[in-house]
Structure 1
Amino acid sequence: MTPRAFVAALADVQLQGVFNPYRDHCEVHDLANAPAMRRKNLRDYLGAVEALGTDTIWMGRDLGYRGGRRTGLALTDEARLPMFATHYPGSAPAKATKGPSVAERTATEIWAVLARLDLPPLLWNVFPLHPHDPDDPMTNRRFAARELSEVTELNRALIEWLGIRRIVCIGQDAMAYAATFGVEVECVRHPSYGGVTEFRQGMQRIYGKAMRPAQASTQVALF
């Protein structure tokens, strides 16, 4: 598997009520070549993760309309894009939308913790696309089982290709699914809906002394 082959396969997935940021174009927010930009963002990111030798995934549920729908990167909003080169050398994702950068609450907290690690994880989702309510693309909904079945083999290929040994689930939605891949699975509270303190405590429990003390610059206020 290569980043190009993986992203090309992901871009081929087409489902009703699902925005695929690697093939679909948002007429409201996207630049003209946004899908191609997001494909490159993901290719470069996966290549950087492979070069680092990362063996851990932080796995959320699916892409959100304020984050991954716009960036093509899981658990990442546009406000976090300038941070990539520091933590994932060789990856410098471009903003694929018009107007000011949009921030997302979950991404803010995820990246505040990620910045404290010497070896960052691969950020990914159970369902690596953006499912939305019918006729309302700027909403988030949980993926359906039939939709998940369309991407499970891609997820399996990703885990095997990168030699992933551990999945840290961001919220309970990912836990049962992650366990099917035969790797170590841990779970922390999702930082949204009042879960920030428990999320931070969970990450501290998992990483212990490998997590550097928080700096003032990583104590980012949630939007």
Structure 2
Amino acid sequence: MDISTFMQHLISYRGENTFNPWNDFNPDYDTADALSIRRKNLEDYLSSRIHRARILLVAEACGYQGGQFSGIAMTCERMLLDFHPTVNSQMILHHSGRRTSRPDSPFITKPAQKEKGFNEPTDSVVWKACLDAGLLPDEFLLWNIFPFHPYKKGNLLTNRTPTDEESAAGLVYTKELMEMTGPIPVFAVGKKSESTLTAAGIPVIGLRHPANGGANIFRAQLKEALR
């Protein structure tokens, strides 16, 4: 398995009420070249980490404020556009990032999102915790069990929990990614990720999900585990 083959496998996925950032295009929200940007984002992100990453962190699914527009797990568009206080495009891609959400979209109504792109709080917590724990940007690899964006029917700018069938389908991509990285520690971000990976026989270190008041616990658990 190489990155090109992996990308083609990701691109081929289709699912109901699921947005595939590397194959799906929505003119209501996406810039004209959104697909090519998101594909290159992931390719560049993986290329700099496959052989350098010391750990793999796996969460549940891509969210509309994060990977849907960035094309990278637990990474939001505002980071790629250098509007984030902690993380910038050089850390992620080693070059400047480009926008994929339409600043002129009538369906994106918040002024900050129109001006600076989407921001995902969980992404901010995960990135900062990894950096604060002493990891270099290329030393941790972020992923999701279900690497696509599951949304509530009729509303793309929502998130929903992946079904068991979707998690099982997504697990295939996680295993392919692990083939490319080789044997490195796997950290499961949240119980859903932990149970899915454990049931598949993959040894993991479980971490509290940062959402819903779990940020401080996540930070402490990650720092302790890395010791």
Deviation at 1:138, TM superposition (A): 1.1
Quote the residue 1:98 is aligned against.
102
Higher deviation after alignment, 131-140 or 76-85: 76-85
Given the alignment, which residue of 140, 144, 148 partners 1:121? Answer: 140
SS at match of 1:110: helix
Please list, as runs of the form range in 1=range in 2, the aligned pairs for 1:117-156 lying within 5 A after superposition.
Answer: 117-119=134-136, 120-156=139-175
- Is the CA contact 1:60–1:126 (under 8 Å) kept in the aligned structure 2? yes
Instruction: Give SS of 1:115's match.
Output: helix
Identity across aligned pairs (percent)? 27
Letter in 2 for 1:131: P
Question: How far apart, CA to CA, are the structure 2 residues paired with 1:113 and 1:86?
Answer: 18
Which SS does the other structure have where 1:16 is aligned? coil
Asked if the contact 1:19–1:131 (Cα under 8 Å) also holds between the matched residues in 2, the reply is yes
Q: CA offsets per residue over residues 120-156 of structure 1, 9 Å max, x none?
A: 3110001000001111111111111222333332221
Which residue of structure 2 lines up, in the alignment, with residue 218 of structure 1? Answer: none
Indicate which of 203, 210, 226 corresponds to 1:191: 210
Using the TM superposition, name which of 135-144 and 89-98 deviates more.
Answer: 89-98
Q: Report the residue type matching 1:77 in the other structure.
A: C
Q: Partner of 1:56 in structure 2?
A: 55
Shift in alpha-carbon separation, 1:132–1:63, aligned structure 2, 3 A: same
The corresponding residue for 2:124 is: 108
TM-score scaled by structure 2? 0.83
- 1:203 corresponding residue in structure 2: 222
Comparing 66-75 and 195-204, the one that deviates more: 195-204
Aligned-pair Cα RMSD in Å: 2.0
Q: How many residues align?
A: 207
1:217 corresponding residue in structure 2: none
Question: Quick one: distance in 2 between partners of 1:113 and 1:75?
Answer: 12
Give the whole-Å Cα distance in 2 for the aligned partners of 1:77 and 1:39: 15
Give the equivalent residue in structure 1 for 2:2. Answer: 2
Match of 2:205, SS? strand
Contact 2:58 2:187 (C-alpha < 8 Å) held by counterparts: yes
Aligned residue for 1:60, secondary structure, equals strand
2:109 corresponding residue in structure 1:
none
Moved over 6 A (4+): none
Unmatched segments (≥5 aa) in structure 1 = 209-223
Written as runs of structure 1 = structure 2, the 5 A alignment for 1:171-186 is 171-180=190-199, 182-186=201-205
